[in-house]
Structure 1
Amino acid sequence: MGAQVSIGDFAVMTSLSRKALRHYHEIGILEPTLVDAHTGYRFYDTSQVDHAHIIRRFRSLGMSIPDIKALLSAENAAARTEILTTHLEQMEVQLQHTRDTVGALRELLSPVGAPAEIELRLEPALAVWSIGTTLEVAEIDSWFAVTVRKLRDAVEAATSVDSQVVPGGLYDRALFLESRGEATLFVAAPQSTDPPEGIRAQLLPQAQFAVLTHSGGHEGIDRSYAALGTYTNEQLVSGHGPIREHYLGGTASEPTAFTATEICWPIFSTAPTPE
């Protein structure tokens, strides 16, 4: 044991405020050695300074109170290492997220432009197998992954040869406007085969689109949508139907690892092909 000190001196020694020390006392990770029964004053021991520094340092690194509590109560080095490794992995994920955010913010410094890769396309009528639902925008990612795999598995089970599966999606304008609306994923229907239960046969009508090919999946796709929408509304006549997407490059082992996403914006009429 060391010397007993007041909460004021202990705060100076540890850079922990009175409020923080009271909080850590209440949750049981840094308790005073004495609380005066009459005045309620808290007193600490100088031997607790290192303990307090550990708590402050890990809090500054973003470690949660439950993790700090578990770390301090860990009985062996292996348990402490596991907690620290998990926190390090979480920090690395957060760091990558910060890097991605910085990159996105840098992109916003340049105005949205219409790239030359926009093409005008007449998509013929297409017989498809599809799965549709009404959902919230926040639910799309999880639904998308499950549904793409289900459609791919259905096609592969129905065909005797290894065929390339190119999924597509139809997204109601309400999804963008109200954050809730209808979404449909589809694949070209195998010939002379009925769809399995839970999948419907559907005929997509012929339609005209302005098409922009976005590299990769959905990372940064908002900028591509902005460029395509800008061009369509300035140069063409925008249609009111659902937005259509085509997902290129997925494989059976990684069905959602796309190399490109075609964004198809419906139009009523066409203008000369952009240079």
Structure 2
Amino acid sequence: MFSIGDFARLGRVSVRMLRHYDAIGLLTPATVDPASGYRFYRAAQLGRLNRVVALKELGFTLTQVQAILDEELGPDALRGMLRLRRAQLEAQIEADAARLTGIEARLQLIEKEGHMPTEDVVLKPVTPVRVAELTAVSPTYETADIGPVIQPLYAELHRRLAVAGVKQTGPGIAYYTPAPDGPGEAVVVHATAQVDAGPHDGYDFEIVEVPAIPTAATIIHRGPMDNVEQSIQVLARWVEDNGYRTDGYVREVYLDYCPDNTAEGVTELQLAVTKS
């Protein structure tokens, strides 16, 4: 058997922690010397200690840890529980990272208020384009909601085009429409790629025509779409300064689509406008 100090070193925990676990009945010593009160542990107890530490570090409270261990779960069941908890934490980390990215983008907007020139906005008509299309619904038009929807759509669209032997003939175009059956702020995300092909019953994607825009205020956005709000707000200033009003959502034309290096991306933003 091992003294509490030796057991703590072997388990890579503190003596104070072991004493606390003993006090709450989570990990009691194998034996306690009645004369000295010294605690002694067996090597087999390292297994329970490993479980305690792993569950605690995954965010379970000590009360929850005790309840889990008292059920005497086998290694397979415990591994499954840990994997599930790990997946939950990883998802939370990704969500927090996306939220931080959004906060950074908004801070940059605040810092640039009054210093975003509108000279790069171009007014032009946009002709209709034939595209292959996949769609999905996003709960809102917020960047944090659109990204997780549109990225998998494009990956799947490109895969299906390759299987069908249909070549992309021009930039991808993403456009958005209100979701008819969703909550009030939900939008349909249309992920499209320009093609020179007609509809075919064998395709597992749609062949449609992206509508024309008679008059569009356009601007080139460079870099990731995480900070696209900067360019959209330049458009907004131009629209207001020049006596126009907007009609619908901003359309995105991916002139240089760089999924592996979004900083190199080049996107034309097109916003339908009419004269006030």
**What TM-score does the superposition give when structure 2 sets the normalisation length?**
0.55
In the TM superposition, what is the alpha-carbon distance from 1:171 to its structure 2 partner? Answer: 1.2
Identity %: 13
Partner of 2:111: 110
In the TM superposition, what is the alpha-carbon distance from 1:152 to its structure 2 partner? Answer: 7.2
Partner of 1:143: 153
Paired AA for residue 272 in structure 2? P
In the TM superposition, what is the alpha-carbon distance from 1:264 to its structure 2 partner? Answer: 1.2
SS in 1 for 2:188: strand
Distance 1:57 1:204, change over 3 A: same
Partner of 1:33: 29
Partner of 1:248: 255
Distance 1:35 1:133, change over 3 A: farther
Paired AA for residue 194 in structure 1? G
Cα deviation, 1:179-238, whole Å, max 9, x if unaligned, reads 412222334442xx4233332232522422222222134222233323333432343422
Cα deviation, 1:3-33, whole Å, max 9, x if unaligned, reads 579xxxxx9942579589749x2xxxxx212
1:133 aligns with 2:135: yes
CA contact (8 A) 1:3 1:45 kept: yes
1:170 aligns with 2:175: yes
CA contact (8 A) 1:148 1:256 kept: no
CA contact (8 A) 1:118 1:228 kept: no
Partner of 2:269: 263
CA contact (8 A) 2:248 2:272 kept: yes
Distance 1:165 1:233, change over 3 A: same
In the TM superposition, what is the alpha-carbon distance from 1:267 to its structure 2 partner? Answer: 1.0
Instruction: Provide the rounded CA distance (Å) in 2 between the counterparts of 1:127 and 1:144.
Output: 17
SS in 2 for 1:131: strand
Partner of 1:40: none
Partner of 2:186: 180
1:194 aligns with 2:214: no
- Counterparts of 1:52-71 in structure 2 under 5 Å? none
Instruction: Provide the rounded CA distance (Å) in 2 between the counterparts of 1:132 and 1:264.
Output: 20
In the TM superposition, what is the alpha-carbon distance from 1:63 to its structure 2 partner? Answer: 5.4
Distance 1:105 1:132, change over 3 A: closer
CA contact (8 A) 2:118 2:234 kept: no
Distance 1:35 1:235, change over 3 A: farther
Paired AA for residue 127 in structure 1? V
Instruction: Provide the rounded CA distance (Å) in 1 between the counterparts of 2:118 and 2:150.
Output: 30
Name stretches of at least 5 consecutive residues in structure 1 with no aligned partner.
6-10, 26-30, 37-42, 75-82, 271-275
Partner of 1:14: 16
Cα deviation, 1:79-129, whole Å, max 9, x if unaligned, reads xxxx9xx9xxx8xx87x949x648547525504453345322323422312
How many residues align? The count is 221
Distance 1:178 1:114, change over 3 A: farther
CA contact (8 A) 1:173 1:243 kept: no
CA contact (8 A) 1:128 1:188 kept: yes
